[in-house]
Amino acid sequence: MTRLIGLTNNGHLETTSAEYDSGLISIPTLRSGKFEATNVLNLPHNISPANPYDITILNGRLNFHDGTTIRTVANLEDLNPVSYIRKDANTYIALGACSSVDIATISTIANRLYLTPIVLGRNVTTSTVSIYTTTAAARTIYIGMYSTYYDTVRRREAPSSLITSTTISTTGSGTYTTTFVSNLSRGTLYWAAFLCISSSITVAALVPTALSCIMNSTSPSATTFATHFYATATSLPNSLANALLSYGTGNVPALFVQEAL
């Protein structure tokens, strides 16, 4: 029996028999990491459907042969309603952003290490990182990604080990891009690190209302929320466990990554 399969607007996969105009069969929503293709749909694991209208699956992507070409009809990682649900080699992910609020700017403090919490809705493998600056002068910037741990002394989650890092040397205003490889898992707390040494720099920034992670108010009477941790540094430490970190408010430097596809 031949069946057709497709995605509904609410993220469900539905199948219908080719022999009927009706007879729609609804199956449970499929979530990334919980889909067993061979057990649920008995789909073969081939990259190239051989026959017209065959449906196959490979690396979470549903494919079918339309008689002429092989087409991708769905990516199972895209079923969750989260920011940046589509993989696209031509776009950038602003780490920590959750909305389309316009980018602002921030004039960073020299030797201040900014640590912004981020949680992604799907697995992301980064290949590059970019910044945009309006400062018409040479600067040295360190960018990194930290894992998280629970600080039992201060009773809070905080940055721990340095996962990956890179350096950007600017010569004036503009966009700067460099290699930045990291494998970031969905639902895991990370800390994006930004450090400009010796002098301040004005860079593109995310405003608090655009952030996906807010660190809550530091006081019952506070009218603003903490958006990041900060510390004084001249390089990125390999570990920040037990480091003295202060709560910061306001805009945070925007780090734009592209995915390795």
Copy the structure tokens of residue 119: 């949680």
Whether residue 232 sits in one domain with residue 105: yes
What's residue 248's pLDDT? 93
- Summarize the confidence of residues 147-174 as an average pLDDT: 94
Whether residue 210 sits in one domain with residue 97: yes
Q: What percent of the chain has pLDDT over 70?
A: 65
Q: What is the mean pLDDT of the chain?
A: 78
- Which residues, 6 or more positions from 113, have their beta carbon under 8 angstroms from its beta carbon? 193, 194, 195, 230, 231, 232, 233, 236
- Summarize the confidence of residues 220-235 as an average pLDDT: 87
Last residue of a domain, one of 23, 55, 79: 79
Lowest mean pLDDT of 44-48, 63-67, 138-142, name the range: 44-48
What's residue 104's pLDDT? 92
Last residue of a domain, one of 28, 52, 79: 79
> Quick check: is 88 in a domain?
no
> Quick check: is 229 in a domain?
yes
Whether residue 51 sits in one domain with residue 75: yes
- Which residues, 6 or more positions from 26, have their beta carbon under 8 angstroms from its beta carbon? 12, 14
Sheet arrangement for strand 24-26: 3-7, 13-17, 24-26
Cβ atoms of 196 and 168 within 8 Å: the answer is no
> Quick check: is 120 in a domain?
yes
> Quick check: is 87 in a domain?
no
Q: Which helix (H) or strand (E) holds 56?
A: strand 55-58
Lowest mean pLDDT of 15-24, 71-80, 115-124, 190-199, name the range: 15-24
Q: Tell me: pLDDT of 40 over 70.
A: no
Whether residue 130 sits in one domain with residue 48: no
What's residue 58's pLDDT? 56
- Which residues, 6 or more positions from 66, have their beta carbon under 8 angstroms from its beta carbon? 52, 53
Structural domain count of the chain: 2
User: Model's pTM, two decimal places?
Assistant: 0.68
Label residue 160 by pLDDT band (50, 70, 90).
very high
For the stretch 202-215, pLDDT in tens is 999 999 888 887 78
Whether residue 245 sits in one domain with residue 148: yes
What's residue 34's pLDDT? 37
Q: Tell me: pLDDT of 222 over 70.
A: no
> Quick check: is 85 in a domain?
no
Instruction: Between 47 and 164, name the one with better pLDDT.
Output: 164
- What CATH code is carried by the domain that includes residue 164? 2.60.120
Label residue 42 by pLDDT band (50, 70, 90).
very low
Last residue of a domain, one of 46, 79, 112: 79
Whether residue 101 sits in one domain with residue 32: no
Q: Whole domain around residue 194: which residue ranges?
A: 93-259
Whether residue 97 sits in one domain with residue 69: no
- Summarize the confidence of residues 139-166 as an average pLDDT: 95
> Quick check: is 84 in a domain?
no
Whether residue 193 sits in one domain with residue 166: yes
